C-alpha cells in the first residue's frame, strides 16, 4: 500500500507533524511499502518536525529518498544530475604533491 502524508501550507512543528501522520493512511502500517510526504509551497518545517521525519521508522533497513522541488520538473532533475556529476568528478580529483 502506498501512503501519502499531506501537510498544510504553514509552520510544521512536532505536534502538527504527528497530526498529519494520524490523519493519513497510516505510514506505520505493516502493509505500507511506500510513504510519500507532501509539503506544499508555503510549508515551513521546524527542526523538531524535521528530526521526526528523518528518524523515520526505527528497527530495520529502510531507504529514504528526499526530493526537493517538483518531482517531475526538468529543472529539478537537471540540478540533481549536475550535483551527482559534480560529486563524482570531485571524488576522482586528487592533488599530486610537489616533489
Task: Give the least confident one: 6-10, 45-49, 69-73, 82-86.
Answer: 69-73
Domain range summary for the chain, segments of one domain joined by +: 2-92
59, pLDDT greater than 50: no
The single residue listed with the C-alpha cell 560529486 is 87
Mean pLDDT within 48-65: 67
Q: What is the pLDDT of residues 2-52, one digit of tens each?
A: 788 888 889 999 899 888 888 887 666 777 777 788 888 788 889 888 888
Residue given cell 512536532 in the structure block: 14
Q: How confident is the model at residue 58 (pLDDT cuts 50, 70, 90)?
A: very low
Amino acid at each position: 500500500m502506498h501512503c501519502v502524508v499531506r501537510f498544510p501550507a504553514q509552520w510544521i512543528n512536532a505536534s502538527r507533524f504527528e497530526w498529519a501522520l494520524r490523519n493519513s493512511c497510516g505510514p506505520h502500517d505493516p502493509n505500507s511499502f511506500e510513504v510519500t510526504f507532501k509539503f506544499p509551497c508555503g510549508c515551513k518545517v521546524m527542526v523538531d518536525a524535521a528530526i521526526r521525519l528523518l528518524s523515520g521508522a526505527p528497527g530495520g533497513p529502510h531507504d529514504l529518498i528526499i526530493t526537493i522541488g517538483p518531482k517531475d520538473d526538468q529543472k529539478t532533475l537537471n540540478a540533481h544530475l549536475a550535483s551527482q556529476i559534480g560529486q563524482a568528478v570531485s571524488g576522482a580529483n586528487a592533488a599530486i604533491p610537489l616533489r
